[in-house]
Amino acid sequence: MPRTILITGAAGFVGTHLLKSLLSDTPTPRIVGWKRPNTNADEASHRIQQNKSVEWHAVDILQSKDVINAVAEARPTEIFHCAGIASAADAPKNITRTLAINVLGTRHLMQGLKLLNTCTRIVLPSSATVYRPKLGQLNEHDEVGPITPYGLSKLAQEMQSLRFVSAKQQVVITRSFTHIGPGQSLAYAASSFAYQVASIEADKKKPVIHVGRLDTKRDIMDVRDTVMAYRALMSSSSITGTYNVCSGRTHQMRDIVMKLIDLAHVPIETQIDQKRFRTNDYPDLSGDRTKITKAVGWSPQITLDQTLNDLLNYWRAQV
């Protein structure tokens, strides 16, 4: 069967970077991209959607028949299931929708694959927020116990996908830690900080960055490294199971703000905004990448300083 890659959520943050990586391959495989119907695209996503090497389809993942028909049309051999609610900050605003998209949407996809009855390998990006909080690095043997609606939805998504595992449906679950980079929405802290710096430089904002808690610790990596991890796991056809995708290095959010301020062309101060504080937030979300490195030889290549510089330059071009 010819190699066909399906990316759900292909117009999103991770999906866009994954597409860029795949399109750089020679020869380029057949790529099918699903996007949500009637959604506005940012400039980067819009450009990638104009690429004629990708077969684009608007698919509502909540509509079972639409998903099953789209799977049958694509006949994928590989799937990166990137569609879903991806923001832990947005999830509590509509818990029902978060659960529907992340869990029911995954069920519809897996049902379509079961009916197709061909061999398919699936990489399912989950989240580190499925783990029970603890101090220090989390590994794949640590206990799950999500404390947020988003984490709960991702754990349920994992369980839903594993119900359909068979000789023909191989599933690799990635428990991805914080990844940032150009094109990320303002719902995420690092992107919000970079946007504020760019706005201040453009004289569109007073020279103050509004921040939430800065003492939280996060394992942070570049989204472009993240998609390379996903690709490495997809390519290693002999492995399945669950893998942390993380840098193995932890930073306080205060460090992220200060690094961006150091990159700024003008003096900037910070101001605590209580409205930006999250309830049930993880004080420490640090990852152990030993398993994935041993399995596929992957390790992150892009420094945090380079990532932040690229993120800031992205927002400089936008404002």
Tens of pLDDT along the chain (319 residues)?
A: 789 999 999 999 999 999 999 999 988 899 999 999 987 666 556 667 777 789 999 999 999 999 999 999 999 999 999 999 988 878 888 999 999 999 999 999 999 999 999 999 999 999 999 999 999 999 999 999 999 999 999 999 999 999 998 888 999 999 999 999 999 999 999 999 999 999 999 999 999 999 988 999 999 999 999 999 999 999 999 899 999 999 999 999 999 999 999 999 999 999 998 777 777 789 999 999 999 999 999 999 999 999 999 999 999 999 9
Q: Looking at the chain, which residues constitute the CATH 3.90.25.10 domain(s)?
A: 181-219+249-286+302-318
Fold adopted by 4-179+223-245: Rossmann fold (3.40.50)
CA 157 from centroid of its chain's CA atoms: 14
The CATH code of domain 181-219+249-286+302-318 reads 3.90.25.10
pTM here is 0.95
Residues paired with 217 in a beta bridge: 252, 284
Question: Is residue 159 within 8 Å of 103, Cβ to Cβ?
Answer: no
Question: Is residue 49 within 8 Å of 56, Cβ to Cβ?
Answer: yes
Q: Is 250 helix (H, G, I), strand (E, B) or coil?
A: strand
Q: Looking at the chain, which residues constitute the CATH 3.40.50.720 domain(s)?
A: 4-179+223-245
CB burial string 144-154: b at 16+ within 10 A, e below: eebebbbbbbb
